[in-house]
Amino acid sequence: MVNQENIAVKAKQLTRKFGDFIATKELTLEVKKGEIFGFLGANGAGKTTAMRMLCGLLKPSSGEATVAGFDVYKEAEKIKKNIGYMSQKFSLYEDLKVTENISLFGGIYGLNRKEIKLKTQNIIEDLNLHSVANKLVRAIPLGWKQKLAFAVAQVHDPKIIFLDEPTGGVDPLTRRQFWNEIYASADRGLTIFVTTHYMDEAEYCHRVSIMVDGEVKALGTPRELKNQYQVNSMDDVFTELARGTSTK
């Protein structure tokens, strides 16, 4: 019996249709607190639709889901306050300074001036951004932007953070460094829900699910999945699953 207190994301037969097209079909999964959950799938497999439902952006057609203990139908506003979000575009305002981005998002999430000041100091300190604090985001290197976006997505101390392909277009070394940040946050108790295309990244996750054509076809730890499919890497697991559907 899993303690409900320890569940960050819970979905049961969560479904979303667009007309006749079923984008997400009966999604059922649980993500524990402090877990790094990899949400994998090819483009168009329904990842984005599922994620939008969990973030309170899109109403499900049927099924149930709670995020941070709040219902996706009735308590979308509360969910929004308790989650962070970052996409591969890094989602910062390029024409605002580093500090201005922090205070903008702090303000959006309802932090007061004192809290914003403190947060700004902490982020600059933690990420060692002193030299660029007053520069426009446009002018700082990609790796720094990514780290900053990750920090800004946590400015309101969310319980869960959704990362939508957060490492797209970044070199392997920077990616590795970014994953260190992710581990550090997870160690502090933050739940990470991450989508990615990179199968080496899937290996870093505590557990993963693989979505094919709107349905979760595999769910478990990377080791479990590799055993199940008798392969050596997550890349092969993914290929196996993809092949399975194309021959159908």
Partner 1 sequence: MLKGLIIKEFRHILRDPKTLLILFGMPLLQLLLFGFALSTEIKNAPIAILDHAKDAQSYALQSKIFSSGYFRQQEKLKNEKQIAQSFEGGKVKLVLVIPPKFAEQLANGNHVEIQVIVDASDINTGITLQNYAQSIIQNFQQQIHPTSKPFMQIVPKVRMMFNPELKSVYAFVPGVSALVLILISAMLTSVTIAREKELGTMEVISISPLRTQHIILGKVLPYLLLSMINAAFIILVGIWVLGMPMNGNVLILLLECLLYVLVALAFGVLISVKANTQQEAMFISLLSMMLPTIILSGFIFPVESMPWGLQQISKIIPASYFIEAIKSIMIKGGGFDLIWKPTLVLAFMATLLIILSIKQLKTRTN
As given in the structure block, the two tokens for residue 17 are 């249709």
Q: How far is the CB of 202 from partner 1 (least distance, A)?
A: 23
Q: Cβ closer to partner 1: 11 or 58?
A: 58
Helix axes 98-108 and 113-127, enclosed angle (nearest 10): 140
Q: How far is the CB of 18 from partner 1 (least distance, A)?
A: 11
Binding residues for partner 1, rule: CB under 8 A, are 55-59, 77, 80-81, 83, 85-96, 100, 103-105, 107-110, 136, 153, 162
Q: Cβ closer to partner 1: 87 or 177?
A: 87
Q: Which residue has the tokens 């599922």?
A: 50
Q: CB count, 10 Å around CB of 139?
A: 11
Burial of 238 (0-12, 13-18, 19+ CB in 10 A): buried
Q: Cβ closer to partner 1: 16 or 175?
A: 16
Q: How far is the CB of 26 from partner 1 (least distance, A)?
A: 21
H/E stretch holding 128 reads: none
Cα→Cα distances 100→132, 134, 228, Å: 12, 8, 49
Q: How far is the CB of 239 from partner 1 (least distance, A)?
A: 30
Q: Cβ closer to partner 1: 9 or 225?
A: 9
